[in-house]
Amino acid sequence: MTKSILTTLLLLVSITISAQSKKKKDQNAIKEMCGCYEVTFNFAETFNYSKDSTYRPSKTKVDKGLEWAGLVEDENNKISIQHLLQVGNPKDPMIIKHWRQDWLYENTDFYMFNGDNNWTFEQKSKSDVKKQWTQKVYQVDDSPRYEGSGTWVHVDGKSYWENETTAPLPRREYTKRNDYNITLRGNRHEITSYGWLHDQDNSKIIREAGKKDVVLAKEKGYNTYVKVDDSRCKAASDWWKANNNKWQLVRNKWEDVFNRNRNLSLETKVDNKPLYKHLFSDKITKEDEINTIIESFVKK
């Protein structure tokens, strides 16, 4: 074996090991978001660009809570984390199924929110997402919310991931405002000494077909997740163990819908109830019932 061939082989081995090491750091950073946290949600409208003199900015919003983030899937190219809110009397708390985040490595299939409960299916090339992780965020009923791809960065003792993507109005806004229809979310997830941080720089967008997007206002979000002992979230952890089988069936059905790889439009209500109210019923547990309910919300 010549010296040049040996050098090339050693270089390839070194590159492979480095790539594997980087991916492992990414996976570890994502899983650092699991556990029990005291969460503070902070949102403030910073600038508005409305030409309407009667425009009123959204009020500054601060909420606190105890949240359990449990590991649902831990595979080489997929990590899934389910969030649960634990509220009320600590001795007998109420558990609320909250959002879910899936992280997919070098994912090429995307459902991009396009307003009015519509998601446009898009495919990216493998080169566009090389070494990137897609964060897919889901509603409380596991229907889609928003998703985007980016590279985890590990430098100067920091680990963070950033992305900008379109999303529905946040829950704190959609029952109060109808003067915009898309949130352009600038998301930054950073692992910190106290836990992790979800830092947001958002734009409130008015989107109309055939017209250029209009920025109505800007918003800052600063959500801190302060790690506490997992025992404080035992009620939420136990609830998930008892209910995971049902929600696995829900995730399976949504996976079937997403694998159709076409634009997705969802009904807001069926039988005068939103999807989460159907699925949150303790009477709904069987696979055929779950499948029928979800399918009834998918516009044909």
Chain length of the chain: 300
CATH of the domain at 27: 2.40.128
Residue 279 domain-assigned?
no
Q: Is 265 part of any domain?
A: no
Which two three-digit tokens encode residue 60? 């500054």
Quick: pLDDT tens for 56-113.
Answer: 999 999 999 999 999 999 999 999 999 999 999 988 999 999 999 999 999 999 999 9
Query: Is residue 241 included in any domain, yes or no?
Result: no
Number of domains in the chain: 1
Task: Please tell me the predicted confidence (pLDDT) of residue 1.
Answer: 59
Q: Say if 77 falls within a structural domain.
A: yes
The whole domain housing 26 covers 21-230
Let me know if residue 250 belongs to a domain.
Answer: no
Instruction: Confirm whether 70 is domain-assigned.
Output: yes
Q: What is the mean pLDDT of each run of 10 residues along the chain (300 residues)?
A: 56 53 97 98 97 94 97 98 95 96 98 97 98 98 98 97 97 91 98 98 96 97 98 97 97 98 98 98 97 97
Q: Closest Cα to residue 168, out of 196, 210, 140, 132?
A: 140
Q: Give yes or no for a contact between 61 and 68, defined as CB atoms under 8 angstroms apart.
A: no
Q: So what's the pLDDT on residue 82?
A: 98
What is the per-residue pLDDT across 255-279, written as a single tens digit (0 to 9) for each? 999 999 999 999 999 999 999 999 9
- Where are any strands of DSSP class E within the chain? 35-48, 61-74, 78-87, 94-105, 109-113, 118-123, 133-138, 144-150, 153-155, 158-167, 182-191, 195-206, 214-228, 264-265
DSSP letters, 159-184, are: EEEEEEEEEPPPHHHHTT--S--EEE
Residue 138: phi and psi, rounded to 5, are -120, 155
Task: Give pLDDT, residue 9.
Answer: 46
* Whole-number pLDDT of residue 175: 87
Kindly state whether residue 239 falls inside one of the protein's structural domains: no
pLDDT number for residue 90: 87
The residues near 153 (Cβ < 8 Å, ≥ 6 apart) are 159, 160, 161, 162
Q: What is the pLDDT, as a whole number, of residue 300?
A: 87
pTM of the full structure: 0.92
Determine, yes or no, domain membership for 184.
Answer: yes
**pLDDT score, position 20:** 66
